[in-house]
Amino acid sequence: MRARLEAARGGAVDLRELLPPMPRARVDTFPDLRGPALDCYWTALHFFDPTPSTALPDVAGLRAALASRYEPVGFDDASFGDIVVLYDLNDAPVHAFNLVAGELVFSKDGR
């Protein structure tokens, strides 16, 4: 990413060029209805994975992955690719997405 920004020398850079392979391939796309219904949990957990599996995590799988592979950070300390999870009043996750920059996020939510 740094090399691409340096090559631009202050000029415009298409945001998709700065994303990892998985999100880059999915910008401005819709899912194949014949394939698995890759939801927001799947997308958030595979942001940096160049060859993600199509196994779909349920709520328990999301919680287990977050507990074993990630550390909580405050929103002010969040950085590129960090997962943001929105919870309902019963502490159940209802949506997950990845931070790109500032208030810009990457989210894909199934079909």
Quickly count: other Cβ atoms within 10 Å of residue 29's Cβ.
8
Phi-psi region of 43 (alpha: psi -120 to 50; beta: other; left: phi over 0): alpha
pLDDT single digits (tens) 22-73: 999 999 988 888 888 899 999 999 999 999 998 989 999 999 999 999 999 9
pLDDT score for 3: 65
Are 41 and 62 a contacting pair, CB within 8 Å?
Answer: yes
According to DSSP, the residues that pair with 16 across neighbouring strands are: none
Helices (H) and strands (E) in the chain, counts: 4, 3
Q: Which two tokens stand for residue 6?
A: 């340096």
Measured distance CA(38)–CA(87) in Å, rounded: 19
Q: Is the pLDDT of residue 2 over 90?
A: no
Question: What's this model's pTM, rounded to 2 decimal places?
Answer: 0.85
